[in-house]
Structures are given as C-alpha cells and as structure tokens.
Amino acid sequence: MSDQKRIAELRKQIARHDELYYRQTEPEISDQEYDALKRELADLEAANPELDFGPSPTQAVGDDRVEGFAKVKHGVPMLSLDNTYNEGELRDFDTRLRKIFPNESALPYLVEPKIDGVALSLTYEKGKFVRAVTRGNGTEGDDVTANLKHLPGIPAELKGSGHPDMVEIRAEIYMRNEEFARINAEREEAGLPVFANPRNLTAGTIKQLAGIGDRQLQLVCYGIGDCRPLIFETQSDIHAAIRDWGLDGQEKLWRVEGIDAAWKAIEELDEIRHQFAYWTDGAVIKLDNLAWQQEAGFTSKAPRWAIAYKFAAEQAETLLKAISVQIGRTGVVTPVAELEPVQLAGTTVSRATLHNEDEIKRKDIRPGDTVLVQKAGEIIPQVLKVNLDKRSAGSQPFDYAAFLKEQGIEAERIEGQAAWRIVGKDDPTQLRRKLTHFASKAAMDIENLGEAVVDQLVSRELVRDAADLYNLTTDQVLGLDKFKEKSTGNLIRAIEASKQQELWRLIHGLGIPHVGAQASKDLARHFHSLPKLAEASPEDLEAIDGVGGIMAKAIRDWFGSPEHQALISRLQEHGLKMEEAVDEAVSDGPLAGKTVVLTGTLPSLTRDEATAMIEKAGGKTSSSVSKKTDYVLAGESAGSKLDKAHKLGVEVIDEQAFRELVG
C-alpha cells in the first residue's frame, strides 16, 4: 500500500475511533493501540510533507462536544498531553527542554498520578463557582454545570481569601473502582450489559441530559487555565492553593530535580498505584516553574513542558475454552468467555464478558481460540483480540443466534440494540433467575430456598412467579428430591415468615431494573408503602437523594406493567407486608439523617451487622467518603477511605465509639 493510501486510511480509522471514544464513550481499541495509530500517521506525514490532506488529527485535540449542551469558550485552551510508553522517550522530553534552558543541568519537575477520567474546567469568579465545562475541542466545551453543580467536590465558594478575580481550575472527574463495581453489579443483576471501564462510564454519566442521578463521581484538581491576576510562580504553588481553597487535589505528588529523580518517582508510583481507590493509568511529568512553562511554549495540541508517561496495560494470553451465556433477571442474554485460568493484575481470571453479539463478530471470537485478555480499568476482564496465528484450521465463525437456539434459549435481538432478550415470559431460565433473586439473602431472605430447590419448582411447573411460592403445599414440597418432613416444614415456615419481611426487602426482591438494595431502602424509607411507590410520579422519585432519571423511569415502567400490577395484587392477597409505619425510634435515632462509611475489618462486627445497626439508629451507609459524610467507621486495614476522611475533616470512629454512639 502506498504512503498516500495508508495516510488516508489511518485518518479515516482515527476519526472513527475519536467518535467512539469522545462522543459515544464506547472505544473499541485500547489507548496504546490508538496511540500507535496516531504515531504511525505522524511518521508518515513527516516523511511525505508534499502530501496535503488538510488538518491532521495528530495536531488536534479530540472533540467530546455533543448536542444538547450550551458551548462555552475556554479563557485559555485546554490542550491534551503528548504520550509516551517508554523511558527513552521520556528522557528525550527532558533533553528537548534542557536545550531551551541550557544553563540548567537538572530541571525541576512535578510528577503526578494520571487519573483516567474526563477533563473538566471549573470557573470561579471572586471565589464563587460559576460554571463547569468539558474539554470539548480544546477551544470550547460543553457546559455541564447543571449536571455537576451538586457534586461534593465542587464547592459553591472557595475557602480562604486572596483568590484571583477569575480562575479556571483544571480538573479530572472520575469514578472510584468501588462505585464502578457497584454499578456494574447492579446492571449485571438486572441483565444489562456492564460498562467496560470507569472512564467510559464517567464520560457517559456527565453527558446525561437528565443529570448524574445516583452515580457517585469524584473530582481531582491539578492545575489552572486562565487566571487573573496570576498569583502563582510554580506548579507546586497551584497544588498548595487547591488544597487551601477546599478543593480535592492529588493525594500523592513528587517534586523532584532532574529526569533521573522523575523516573524514580514514576517507578514508585507504579508500585503503589494499585492501592489507590481509582484507576491510575500513568504519570504526568510537568516543568514546575510557570515562567519556564511559558518560555517552553506549546504545539497546536499539547504543551512542550509536560508529558504523560502511560503504564502498559497488564495482558496475558490464554485459551478460550467455550462461550456460555448469562441471563439477567430482566431476560437479557449476555455472552461470556470461559477461559483457561490465567493470572492478571494480581487475580486469577477464568471468565470475561463478551458484552454482546456485535462484539463477538467484530473481534471474530471463536471457541478454541487463543485470546489476549486484559483487565479494563484493572477491574473488568475483557478479551482484546484473537491470536490468529494459533487458530486451528477447522475453526468456524461463532453463530450466536444458532448457539442460543441449540441451548434451547428462546430469545430475540432487541430492536436498535445489540442485546438479545428472552422472548417467552414463562422462560424457565429467566424465571429461575427471578425467583432465586427474590428468595436471596439480599432480598426476601427465604432460608432453604436456594438455586437447587428453585430449579425443581420451576421444572415441575409448581411456581411461575414469586406469588406462587405462597401457594406451595406441604405435599408439593415433600414431593421434591431430598425433602423429608423436617426439611419440608422448615421451608414452608420460612416462606410464611417472609411475609413479614421489611418493605425494602420486598421492593428489592421484585427485581426492578436499576434498583439495588440501597435504592430499595431509600424508597422504603421515603414512601413507607408499596402502593404509594407504585403511584409515584417521576418528579416524586427524582426528589429522593440517590434516584436519578434513569432509575425513576425504570420504576415507573415496571409498576406500569399490567403483569406486574397483577403480581403485586396477588402478593398483597397472600398477606405480604405492603406498608410499614414510620419508626419514630429510627427517625429520632442517634444517627437520624446521618451518613456513615465503613472501611476496614471491625473486631467483632461483620459489615452486614454494622450496616443493620446504622440503619436501626436512623442512619444510612455510603460506599465513598465525601464532604456529606458524617462518620467513617474504621477497622483494621482501613485504606484510602480513611485517608480521605482525614483529608476532608470527617470524624473517624472505631467500633467501641460506634457502639456507644448507637447505644
């Protein structure tokens, strides 16, 4: 292929990947693969200066602007950073700078963790918050102020005094690993496709026109854009001001002299980064002196005084033994790669989601292939690509539709989506999933009603929905395998006792999409009645802290179904608790209205026991520490949450103090 044709092809590929990454937040290739494409294009363009294709993507900032948001011009352009993956290129960066400053043998650098999130610019005028704007195309971005104005990391007013008249604070908005795992677990439970990594989920979340809902985002501030008057001399000064102003800054920084010391700092970061509560994919190295930064200058897309060193993703080759499926309680059928176990990022990986049929086709994944596996965001295992050199000669493309038919799964592809969903309402696989969830400890907690028993009840057509459980007779249960008089009596009594379970357990057991255990507790605490919840408007629902537009719509759609209305009526006829009185002891309890975060291992309480005590005292738990947190209950091996609590001034208590607090 001629250089001219290859340049045209690379530009087309990069434009497509930019659209997927910046606007659709669904990238198909890794950052390293993308950077390799841009590097190849830059090299070809440099070797063929006579070929004019117009503006090149190698000289432009990616564009994340979408319709539906007002556009705002940055006071100072928000440029991207040049990337490198090896020590030699990092030292070349230092060599170029020392040519600009020949009298300096060891330049002052600041080394920061590179958090893989979404770039944001926060404007403050006379210390008061004005707006939040995305990077956009570097010159102007989307105004996302309405979506983020209540984010704990964005104070309405800066602390202290002596603020500039106007300052653009550069920040990265991101999602903690724990929150990312929580959202994916709830999506998996609801039969929805999981998100590939925290960065994609964060980008999609802040661009939701309805706001961020119940997704918890964090913010780290690392620099400034326009600043009038400029009151700083070094990058280190900016970080100190960020902390003094009450903003969240980097939890770890290295101020060093010379590139050797900078490299040692990068190596140290690589050693400790897995301890962070968020995904860190590299380091940013900046010249610390602001006057020297201006002298070093900029290219059309990046500063010459800073560079990003990116850690190579941990990958491994292994055998894809088979493709199986996972069926969610809403009937979505998700393909799963069954792998020969392999060590990756400190854990053994034996399964990886394949997301959907299109993913299988695009990567041409087949059982028996040798595949390259990577942990996306160091959390979710994913199949990157197939090693075609190791593919057997007789291998055939995988036919997902035919596979589902062979498995006896009656499903159809959802129009306009990549997902397949069970067709029959009485599909036994989906019914088993729903009933197992309904009876689980996280929901109605019906003892002795596990998967094996549910399988028998469904296969013998004794139960077709949750209400049928309460019709079961002693004779029917006695007829099940391995059931005697004692075990039969235990199960019948457990089913009967579940009628008096707390309201939140019933709400969770119903399997409403996007509604997990914590959301169920919030809904029960707010409405105290299932009929009232069923009649609630979207506005009523969104008024509840933690309920966003997507969840509100899912709740309304679920209760609007005639099938579900009939189910609720039958459960009510069986005597299940549909309402609960306001517990005055709870509403006036020692933790009423308080939020508690648990971290570490407590001496004599399990996490579930501590959570129950908090709720009984009127409080609620949260998975992350913010300025809205009232207490952090810390045990042994408490990690970053404890550090965050100290940083924010949140009160930290041990188990003894907690017991005294709740009485």
How far is the C-alpha of 393 from the C-alpha of 308, rounded, in Å?
A: 43
Which helix or strand (DSSP H or E) is residue 219 part of?
A: strand 218-228
Sheet holding 166-174, edge to edge: 128-134, 118-125, 166-174, 218-228
DSSP 82: -
DSSP 22: I
Place of tokens 């509840």: 544
Report how far Cα 405 is from the mean position of its chain's Cα atoms. 33
In three-state secondary structure terms, 1 is coil
In three-state secondary structure terms, 250 is coil
HSE-CB for 45 with a 13 A CA cutoff: 19
C-beta of residue 380 within 8 angstroms of C-beta of residue 201: no
How far is the C-alpha of 602 from the C-alpha of 599, rounded, in Å?
A: 8
Place of tokens 């517990």: 583
C-beta of residue 227 within 8 angstroms of C-beta of residue 212: no
Place of tokens 């393909």: 335
HSE-CB for 6 with a 13 A CA cutoff: 14
Torsion sign (Cα): 336, 432, 187, 215: negative
Beta strand residue intervals within 528-642, DSSP E:
595-599, 620-622, 631-634
How far is the C-alpha of 314 from the C-alpha of 176, rounded, in Å?
A: 20
State the catalytic residue, choosing from 38, 114, 207, 641. 114
Q: Is 142 exposed, middle or buried (0-12, 13-18, 19+ CB in 10 A)?
A: buried
C-beta of residue 250 within 8 angstroms of C-beta of residue 286: no
How far is the C-alpha of 628 from the C-alpha of 639, rounded, in Å?
A: 19
**CA R_g for the chain:** 28
DSSP annotation string for 604-629: S--HHHHHHHHHHTT-EEESS--TT-
C-beta of residue 595 within 8 angstroms of C-beta of residue 150: no
C-beta of residue 185 within 8 angstroms of C-beta of residue 508: no
C-beta of residue 334 within 8 angstroms of C-beta of residue 413: no
Q: Report angle CA 430, 432, 433 to the nearest 5 degrees.
A: 65
375 classed as catalytic: no
- SS3 sequence of 624-637: CCCCCCCEEEECEC
34-to-1, 41, 311 alpha-carbon distances in Å? 20, 11, 14
Q: Which residues are catalytic?
A: 114
